[in-house]
Structure 1
Amino acid sequence: MILNSFEFKLIEQKIKKIEETILEVKRSSSMDSFLLQIEIDSLNAFLNKLVKERDFYLKTIQDFRGEVLENDVLLLYPENLLYIRIANQVSQEEIADFLEVSIEEIKRQEEYLYKKLDPILLSKINKFVTEKVTSNLNTNTSGINWENFPIKEMLKRQWLPSQVTDLASIIKVQFEEIFGNSGYELALHRKFNFNGNSPNIYSLLAWQIQVLSKAKEITKQSQVPSFDNDLAWLNQLVRISTSPTGPLEAQEFLLSKGIILIVVPHLPLTYLDGAAMLLPNTAIPVIGLTLRHDRLDNFWFVLFHELGHIFLHLNEERNIIFDEEMDIVTDQIEIEADKFALENLISLEQWNMCISRFYQDEEKLNEDARNLKIHPSIIAGRIRKENDDYRVFNEQIGSKQVRKLFWDNEYDSE
């Protein structure tokens, strides 16, 4: 049985993997037809089991969202208390803390659907869960219209389950799973900065939920160290750019410094390049990149721009900064983040020594890159930008070299 949204996502991934495996097996010509059918039947049996678990979880969310139990019903159907817990995002950890028992004990009782708990303890859990559900229902999220999210596009990208009719409710569950039940005013008015256009707030929020969901999964799978707020290690990050798999290595390196880097494609009409944010209810910085421009020079500049926001600007009052159209600088914090990126990628002293600024040919560019221990695309991109001449170094900016590292051929046509 699926007990939380994290397990649900793992099941979804398994289902997708098995479906792909079945297609591969069906295409196989090297197996005996009898053995082939046995293999397919076995995979289908496992697939059907997982699909039933997934569908039951989704139905539980729909049926028990916002429900509470009276004690007389509770004693007859104690399993309903578990379903209410799941549907309303009350965690096992919360119940364990409330009862002052181990989480393993709660998991053990949930294996029996609460049917082996004595009535007094069952009633205590029910009271706690009822208070949580009631509190959730009173949460001030009235300013958010869940139907305004880009549901069709989210379905297309498999950000939402296709088997559910009430997708707005699923979005609300995802929202509360990330931001808690405190009412996230950022969604409509404040606590973030825009640069450039004014895109659809619901598209930005949908993208942010996806980024933070992936970041939260990482925190569940491994211990993220405390953010290492030390500019000294940025030189190591710059040198990683010289590797053919530099962007992927940067993701791993940043995690070792307490920063989670997530790559999720932008939604239509957002013109979003990236964002710097804090994982809600933690001090963990998260960088989201869209790779809207599939170039190495753009990847490294946007990454360091977002690092600038993390080092200089993120705090409790400003916990998310969206960056759209990086070429447009509209306020002081964007100017500061740009300056941070330029200085920490190539210092002014180093920049003044670059001969490729004056002799714009590939040999001089590569010579500068070797001297600076940096990828030549970063120098090329800066020269193009400062001279406002995008005809030079077209072959040296690393076009179509980033997305394939993260997504293979997916989203390569955006």
Structure 2
Amino acid sequence: MNAQTYTFNPDHCAPPGDLIQEYLDELDISARELARRCGRSGKLMSEIIAGKAPIEPETALQLERVLDVSASVWIAMEANYQLHTARQSEHQSMAASYDWAKLFPLKELAERECLKKVSDKSAQVEELLIFFGVGTVKACEEKIDELLQVDFRTTEKFSADRLALASWLRIGERRATSIETDTYDRDAFVKKLGELRGLTRMRLQEVLPAVEAQCAKAGVAFVLEKALPKTRASGASRWLSPRKALIQQSARHLTGDHFWFTFFHECAHLLLHSRKEIFIDVEKGAGSATPLQEMEANTWASEFLIPSADMREFQKSFSGDEDEVTDFAGRLGIAPGIVVGQLQHSGFVPHHRLNSLKERLEWK
């Protein structure tokens, strides 16, 4: 949820020079006389009164002695005026960036309470910058490039699908910061994955808390976040720091076998590949990994779930009966749907066969 600090932001703020002028009128002295008493130039004092020059700390101390108004009052008034002026300028520049902001899935992000959908153009741009944790539109574009990695830069730089994908990744990044994890330990992570492999036989809704908890104990934050429209993302993995990694999934196909294979595929990226990269897996087209990295992650996940030697032996005698799949899965200690998914992916059985053995998922 987007954390928002509510403050009073008036649409007008008088420069401290207005108050100085009131004192001059009351004392019936000129700006030049005030400048003489403060030891400043007449030109500078005139510019301060007109709001064209700021009150520096030294000048504030001098005004304190001459007008008997605390220097902290002058400094505070100057700071408020400068902030107000900067805010007004920012408001105009952000409003000019509204067409850029409209390319993001603002409605969906608001529905997920990641930001507020507001009518004011400038405020909407500001909401988006807060969501991405940046201060300017330029910094936001750089953050998006960072999230999407180099392979995605071959497409249109600010297309809606790219920005939706960056938004989905940012949701995972934000959620991961609130997940407490131990320091990453590779051996502990592999051990936890062995334990999680056995949980594939249970309903996913029941074991999700265990997936999150076991990953956290090994230094990996796990986030399940429904894909935003146009993202086509099934999973992503990255390092948030040398001590903490993130696995993010979308459960796009809404089947248990796809969820688990994607999970172990992302785990493989963390175990096998560079910590400097963000690995993004999408349904169609190239993700951010190289073909070799994708092959290595797929092979690792396949072997971890079903050793290839066992699968080849099973296929020799498999007649297509559901009970054979169930028995084989039982011997391996995994869900039958995972076996079906592997058989379908390899083309050994058609994609319309044995789907009754797959666990069906739904978003609530």
CA 1:269 to 1:79, structure 2 compared with 1: closer, same or farther past 3 Å?
farther
2:199 pairs, out of 219, 224, 240, with: 240
2:232 pairs, out of 266, 271, 288, with: 271
Contact kept? 1:275, 1:321, Cα under 8 Å: yes
What letter corresponds to residue 152 of structure 1 in structure 2?
K
The alignment status of 1:359 with 2:323, answered yes or no, reads: no
CA 1:146 to 1:81, structure 2 compared with 1: closer, same or farther past 3 Å?
farther
* Residue of structure 1 equivalent to 2:110: 155
TM-fit CA distance, 1:192:
4.8
1:226 pairs, out of 179, 183, 200, with: 183
TM-fit CA distance, 1:246:
3.1
* Residue of structure 1 equivalent to 2:279: 321
CA 1:269 to 1:163, structure 2 compared with 1: closer, same or farther past 3 Å?
closer
- Total equivalences in the alignment: 282
Q: CA RMSD in A?
A: 4.1
Higher deviation after alignment, 268-277 or 297-306: 268-277
2:173 pairs, out of 202, 207, 212, with: 212
CA 1:177 to 1:196, structure 2 compared with 1: closer, same or farther past 3 Å?
closer
CA 1:80 to 1:268, structure 2 compared with 1: closer, same or farther past 3 Å?
farther
Q: 1-side partners of 2:109 and 2:191: how far apart? A: 40
Q: Describe the superposition over 1:61-80 as per-residue Cα deviations: whole angstroms up to 9, x where unpaired.
A: 999xxxx9975699338699
Contact kept? 1:274, 1:290, Cα under 8 Å: yes
Contact kept? 2:118, 2:124, Cα under 8 Å: no
TM-fit CA distance, 1:352:
2.9
Higher deviation after alignment, 270-279 or 227-236: 227-236
Q: 1-side partners of 2:144 and 2:134: how far apart? A: 15
Q: 2-side partners of 1:177 and 1:282: how far apart? A: 22
TM-score by length of 1: 0.58
Q: 2-side partners of 1:147 and 1:257: how far apart? A: 39
TM-score by length of 2: 0.65
Q: How does 1:57-206 map to 2 (within 5 A)?
A: 57-59=5-7, 75-76=72-73, 145-162=100-117, 165=120, 166-176=123-133, 185=142, 187-188=144-145, 191-193=149-151, 200-206=161-167
Q: Describe the superposition over 1:339-367 as per-residue Cα deviations: whole angstroms up to 9, x where unpaired.
A: 12111111223323436972222211111
What letter corresponds to residue 358 of structure 1 in structure 2?
F
Query: Which structure 2 residue ranges, 5 or more long, are not aligned?
Result: 12-53, 61-69, 84-96
Higher deviation after alignment, 154-163 or 338-347: 154-163
What letter corresponds to residue 130 of structure 2 in structure 1?
V
Contact kept? 1:225, 1:257, Cα under 8 Å: yes
What letter corresponds to residue 312 of structure 2 in structure 1?
N
CA 1:78 to 1:297, structure 2 compared with 1: closer, same or farther past 3 Å?
farther
Contact kept? 1:69, 1:81, Cα under 8 Å: no
Q: 1-side partners of 2:237 and 2:142: how far apart? A: 17
Q: Describe the superposition over 1:281-328 as per-residue Cα deviations: whole angstroms up to 9, x where unpaired.
A: 554111111111100000001111111111122422x2x121101797
TM-fit CA distance, 1:250:
1.7
